[in-house]
């Protein structure tokens, strides 16, 4: 393929290849902890999401599939996503006082599955 054609087509096709897109035109997004968030910010957001926020955080309890690695960042990521997926269609955002960000890469690993809802 000629180089000039690649320069024209690559910017158009690259986003389609990189970001998984659902048939309705939406991109899959998960909500995870921002690496720049402090431990205090992460803990406060976990306390909210797993408490009065109503997220199902049972999978990050000891002996459950998402408990390991047992880090604040990993537990916060799971809690943020559980809350975001449950309430995003009611106007919830992935913000948590700037402790979270969205990603198009599924953060699931091993037996730990991060939910995604359309």
Domain ranges of the chain: 22-103
Q: What pLDDT band is residue 51 in, cutting at 50, 70 and 90?
A: very high
Q: Closest by alpha carbon to 86, among 46, 57, 44, 106?
A: 57
Name which residue leads in pLDDT, 20 or 28.
28
Q: What is the C-alpha to C-alpha distance for residues 118 and 113, in angstroms, rounded to an integer? A: 16
Alpha carbons 33 and 101: distance in angstroms, whole number: 6
Tokens of 93: 């955002």
Phi and psi (nearest 5°) for 56?
-85, 105
Residue 80 has pLDDT above 50, yes or no: yes
- In 27-83, DSSP assigns E strands to 30-33
Of the two residues 4 and 45, the one the predictor is more confident about is 45
Please determine, for residue 5, whether its predicted confidence score (pLDDT) is greater than 50. no
Percent of the chain at pLDDT above 90? 75
Model's pTM, two decimal places? Answer: 0.78
């Amino acid at each position: 393929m000629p180089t000039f054609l690649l320069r024209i087509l690559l910017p158009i096709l690259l986003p389609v290849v990189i970001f998984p897109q659902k048939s309705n035109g939406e991109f899959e997004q998960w909500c995870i902890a921002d690496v720049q968030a402090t431990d205090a910010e992460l803990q406060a957001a976990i306390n909210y999401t797993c408490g009065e926020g109503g997220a199902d955080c049972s999978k990050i309890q000891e002996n459950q599939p998402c408990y390991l690695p047992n880090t604040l960042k990993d537990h916060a990521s799971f809690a943020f996503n559980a809350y975001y997926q449950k309430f995003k269609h009611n106007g919830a955002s992935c913000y948590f006082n700037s402790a979270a960000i969205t990603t198009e890469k599924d953060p699931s690993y091993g037996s730990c599955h991060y939910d995604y809802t359309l």
